């Protein structure tokens, strides 16, 4: 349990003292620790939920998820169609296979507090849920029988797409061009991550990453912000 709690407080400390401000990753405007935490409450809420569920679902060693929880809350064709676990596309992006899996996703989530500060907590959480849910649902068309999938990376890929594309000033041409670039970047990073993965028994689901980015890109364009929060 200690490694998971330690990881969470490292993330909180990073946001409190080093996190970027709401306009960009390079903005250096001074704020208090409390203001930084409040501006990043959506990021912290997601991180707390992921860590809390990992503590509850992992084996006593707190390195791997309990197999029963994995097959119940991760998604698979057998679970969704065979066992009628229709909640799996929703629960799957809150659970992780092992300690490295959740650490990797939390480290990618950390700088996205910049996106939350730009568009607001509610918008940030909506993009996270839409990306996670639709990437899981759509992945049912691609996942191989007998394969189990879980993890927040599809939702987090959606947040990265939101960071790049969720801007009222983008024209349709700019949105299309940037969407293609984001998907290519997500594909490249997924390939790079699969090459250096630490557990040979767990493959990187690069399709769900792309589906998460595409889901977010479509969502932020269909429900475009009229203006940015102040």
Residue 210 reports pLDDT greater than 90: yes
**pLDDT for the residue numbered 196:** 45
Query: Structure tokens of 163?
Result: 């960071």
How distant, in Å, are the alpha carbons of 86, 99, 128, 216 from that of 110?
30, 17, 14, 18
**Mean local confidence (pLDDT), 123-140:** 95
pLDDT in tens, 35-52: 888 889 999 999 999 999
Give the predicted TM-score (pTM) of the model. Answer: 0.87
**Mean local confidence (pLDDT), 106-121:** 90
Query: Structure tokens of 187?
Result: 């594909």
Residue 191 reports pLDDT greater than 70: no
Query: Are residues 152 and 196 in contact, defined by beta-carbon separation less than 8 angstroms?
Result: no
Buried b (16+ CB within 10 A) or exposed e, 2-18: eebeebbeebbeebbee
**pLDDT for the residue numbered 67:** 94
Q: In the chain, what are the domains?
A: 2-222 (1.20.1540.10)
**pLDDT for the residue numbered 187:** 82
Query: Are residues 129 and 37 in contact, defined by beta-carbon separation less than 8 angstroms?
Result: no
pLDDT band (50, 70, 90) for residue 18? low
Residue 1 reports pLDDT greater than 60: yes
């Amino acid at each position: 349990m200690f490694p998971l709690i330690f990881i969470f407080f490292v993330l909180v400390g990073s946001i409190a003292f080093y996190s970027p401000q709401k306009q960009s990753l390079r903005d250096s405007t001074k704020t208090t620790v409390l203001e930084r935490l409040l501006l990043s409450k959506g990021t912290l809420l997601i991180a707390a939920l992921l860590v809390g569920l990992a503590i509850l679902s992992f084996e006593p060693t707190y390195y791997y998820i309990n197999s029963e929880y994995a097959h119940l809350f991760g998604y698979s064709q057998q679970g969704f169609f065979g066992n009628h676990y229709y909640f799996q596309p929703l629960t799957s992006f809150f659970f992780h296979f092992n300690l490295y899996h959740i650490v990797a996703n939390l480290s990618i989530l950390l700088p996205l507090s910049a996106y939350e500060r730009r568009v607001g907590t509610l918008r940030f959480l909506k993009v996270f849920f839409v990306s996670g849910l639709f990437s899981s649902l759509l992945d049912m068309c691609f996942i191989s029988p007998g394969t189990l999938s879980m993890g927040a990376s599809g939702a987090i890929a959606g947040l990265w797409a939101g960071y790049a594309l969720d801007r009222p000033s983008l024209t349709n041409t700019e949105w299309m061009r940037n969407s293609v670039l984001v998907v290519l970047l997500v594909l490249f990073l997924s390939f790079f991550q699969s090459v250096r993965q630490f557990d040979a028994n767990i493959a990187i689901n690069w399709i769900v990453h792309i589906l998460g980015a595409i889901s977010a890109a479509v969502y932020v364009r269909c429900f475009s912000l009229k203006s940015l929060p102040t």
